Amino acid sequence: MTLARSEQIDLNATPYYHVMNRCVRRSFLCGYDELTKTDYSHRKTWIVDRLRYLTDIFAIKICAYAIMSNHYHVVLYVEETQAQAWSEAEIIRRWASIFPKDAEENKHLKQKIQLWKERLTSISWFMRCLNEKIARDVNEEDDTAGRFWEGRFKSQALLDEGALLSAMVYVDLNPVRAGITKTPEKSEFTSIYERIQHISKQLKVNKPKSIKQLKREKANIYPQQMILRLGGKRSSNRSVYKIHDYCEIREANNTEDSSVKGIYNNLTQPKSLVPFANISEHHSHAIDFKLVDYLELVDYTGRTIREDKEAGSIPEHLAPILTRLQFEPMNWISLVKNLAKSFSHAVGSEILLLNFGKGGRKGLKGITWAKKLYSSTHVA
C-alpha cells in the first residue's frame, strides 16, 4: 500500500531514515551499460559529491550510503536541533547556496525564512536537490532530455537502534550482496569504504601485517580486523582472515599502555558521515555504538552472506552486540538479507511498528518479521 510522503516521514517518530532510488527502467546509468557498451561509473562520484555538498547545507547528515550501478541507498539522520540554532542570515545563506534566485527576491523575504528553515530539515527537499541535479548533469552529458530516476524515492523509518544499525549494515554490504566485491574495504562508493580509508590514512598502513607482528608491536589499533586487509595484496593465500584471528588480536590489545591507547583515542572519523561514539571526539548526534564493533559486525555479516551461509554459531564476541540491539542473534543474517523485502515503510520492533502504524498508516509490512527477529524481552 502506497503512503503519502508526509505519512512515511515523521520526525516525531524517528530522525533516522533509509532511502533509496533507482535509475529509470533500472538501467545501468551509473555503471557499465551492456546495452550501449558505455561506462558511466564516473556518475557515482557525482552522487557522492552531491551528497556531501547537501549535508553542508541541510540539517541532514549521512549515516551510511552505497552508490550502485543502477540505484543508490542512503541512511539519513535529520538533526532538527541544528536548524533551531540557525540565525535568519544563516538560513538565507544556506538556502541561497542552492537556490540563489530565491534570495535575490527581497519581497516577502521574512515570510520565506521560516519556510526555508523547514525545507532545510526536509528529507523530501534533500532528495529533490540530489536527484534533480544529477538528472540535469546526466542529460547535459548525454545531450538529451527525459527522466533519469525511475520515480519518487522510497523510504523506511528506522524506529530503534537495531533498525538503524541493521539498515546501515544492509546498505554498506550492497556491493558484497550483489557479488560485485568480496570485502567491505574493496567496496568503493560506500560509507564503509570511506570510513576504512579514512582510518587507514591516519594509521599509514602500507602493507598487511601478520598477527604475530601486530601483537609484537602492541597494536592496540581499531579496527583491528580491517587493518589486516588494508594497503595491498596479502602474502597469504587466504581470501579472508578468520574471526578467531580478530578475537586473538582484540585480546592481545587489551593493554593499559597509555601510548598505545593514544593511537585509538586520537583517531578521527570522516566529517561527511555521522560518527560512531568515540573516546576523544564528542558529538551530540554520534551513533551510540563503537566503530570497531560496527566494523566487526559488517565484516562477519559480509563473509557469511558472500559464502551463502546461514548465521550458524554467532562468534562469541559478536553475540553480546546483537543482544544489546535486542535481536535474536540467530536471525541477524536473515534480517540483513531481507531488510528491504521484509519491511515496507518502517523497520523496528512489533510494538514500535504498531505505534507507527497508527494515525492512518495502514498496511505496514514487517510485523511477522519483527516478532521473529526481536527477542521476547524487547522493550519499546
pLDDT 10s digits, 88-136: 999 999 999 999 888 776 667 878 999 999 999 999 999 999 999 999 9
Asked whether residue 219 is assigned to any structural domain, the reply reads no
Residue 82 has pLDDT above 90, yes or no: yes
- Residue partners of 274: CB distance under 8 A and separation at least 6: 61, 62, 63, 77, 283, 285, 286, 287
Overall average pLDDT of the 53-59 stretch = 98
> What per-residue confidence (pLDDT) applies to 360?
58
- Residue partners of 283: CB distance under 8 A and separation at least 6: 274, 275
Overall average pLDDT of the 53-78 stretch = 97
- How many Å is the Cα radius of gyration of the chain? 22
Range of the domain at 98: 5-157
Asked whether residue 58 is assigned to any structural domain, the reply reads yes
Q: Which of 257-261, 314-318, 362-366, 376-380 has the lowest mean pLDDT?
A: 257-261
Q: Which of 7-21, 240-254, 316-330 has the lowest mean pLDDT?
A: 240-254
The reported pTM is 0.83
Asked whether residue 33 is assigned to any structural domain, the reply reads yes
> What per-residue confidence (pLDDT) applies to 313?
58
Q: Which residue has the higher pLDDT, 28 or 160?
A: 160
Asked whether residue 19 is assigned to any structural domain, the reply reads yes
pLDDT 10s digits, 214-242: 555 544 444 444 444 443 333 343 333 33
Query: Whole-angstrom Cα distance, residue 75 to residue 5?
Result: 17
Confidence bin at 304 (pLDDT 50/70/90): confident
> What per-residue confidence (pLDDT) applies to 362?
62
> What per-residue confidence (pLDDT) applies to 232?
35
> What per-residue confidence (pLDDT) applies to 224?
43
Number of independent structural domains in the chain: 1
Query: 3-class SS at 117?
Result: helix
Asked whether residue 375 is assigned to any structural domain, the reply reads no
Q: The domain that contains 106 carries what CATH number?
A: 3.30.70.1290
Query: 3-class SS at 216?
Result: helix
Most confident of 47-56, 274-283, 323-332: 47-56
